[in-house]
Amino acid sequence: MSDKSEIVGEIIARHHHREGPLLPILHDVQAELGCVDAESEALIAKGLNLSRADVHGVVSFYHDYKSKADPRPVVQVCRAEACKARGVEKIIANAQQAAGERVKIETVYCLGLCSAGPAARTGDDLHIRLDEAGITKLVENA
């Protein structure tokens, strides 16, 4: 048995009793393996007695699940209305420049820090009131 099937099997067992267990399972697989790839999808489908198409449909629907693991650090920058009103579009180029190929800049829509944007998230850490220098530093330290 491969490592992956053991890990996924354990995650399925952890959530199997829940009502609507698929999303919690996918969250844990994504967290543990960095992605939900085709192999994991097949394992989950078998474990929950669903079709692979059902599972793939769910995985591909949600922005949080990735089909391929990306080892790069991620900086999520909010580019929704409130952060736009506070100038995120003016600093996004700085973020991309500082990131280069090393860091992945992702767009999110709203971190709920709308009165103090532009806002960004790295892991579970949040950042507010970013300006050109602030976001450059944030990306460089990511």
Provide the binding-site residues for another protein, judged by CB under 8 A: 19-24, 26-27, 57-58, 61-65, 78, 80-86, 108-117, 119, 121, 124-129
Nearest distance from C-beta of residue 74 to another protein, angstroms: 13
Q: Say whether 116 sits in a helix, a strand or coil.
A: coil
CB 66 within 8 A of CB 35: yes
Nearest distance from C-beta of residue 1 to another protein, angstroms: 25
Q: Beta strands of 2-137 (E only): which ranges?
A: 74-78, 104-108, 120-122, 125-127
The smaller minimum CB distance to another protein, of residues 38 and 53, is found at: 53
Nearest distance from C-beta of residue 42 to another protein, angstroms: 17
Residue with tokens 């530093």: 137
The smaller minimum CB distance to another protein, of residues 102 and 109, is found at: 109
Residues ≥6 apart with Cβ < 8 Å to 63: none
The smaller minimum CB distance to another protein, of residues 31 and 102, is found at: 31
